[in-house]
Amino acid sequence: MFKRCDFLLGDNQAVVIVLPACLPRADTYTVAVTEKRISFRAGYDEIAELPCPDSDVFRRIASHTQIGLVEFPEGAPFPGIITNMAYVEVRKALP
């Protein structure tokens, strides 16, 4: 669905994910994050998987139970609001 995303970073570990697409309609959205990958689900369907850009982004996402998503398709004006919320699922390898 998309091959990249951007992150708005703020104070106190705040983070919002900016997606270059409109999400498919779903009752829930999930962002699953590891230290190396971020995947996005609409309901039970995986819609994208991308590399996690760095450890700061991983820590910020992992510190929340929900995260704001901004849908910003190419050519559209920036919405200026969070357009959806997603549950956060943190995946870590066992030692």
pLDDT for 3-17, tens place per residue? 999 999 999 999 999
Answer yes or no: is 74 within a domain. Answer: yes
At 48 the pLDDT is: 97
Ramachandran angles phi, psi of 57, nearest 5°: -60, -45
Let me know: does 51 contact 7? Beta carbons within 8 Å. Answer: no
Enter the tokens of residue 6.
Answer: 């951007």
The rounded percent of the chain whose pLDDT value lies above 90 is 93
Mean pLDDT for the stretch of residues 51-74: 96
Distance CA 65, CA 76 (A): 29
Of 36, 44, 45, 32, the closest CA to residue 1 belongs to 45
**Average pLDDT of the segment spanning 34-38:** 94
In a domain, 95, yes or no: no
Report pLDDT for 15: 97
pLDDT at residue 37 in the model: 95
Total domains present in the chain: 1
Range of the domain at 48: 6-90
- In this predicted structure, the answer to whether residue 58 has a pLDDT above a threshold of 90 is yes
Question: CA-CA distance, 37 to 55, in Å (whole number)?
Answer: 11
Q: What is the pLDDT of residue 75?
A: 94
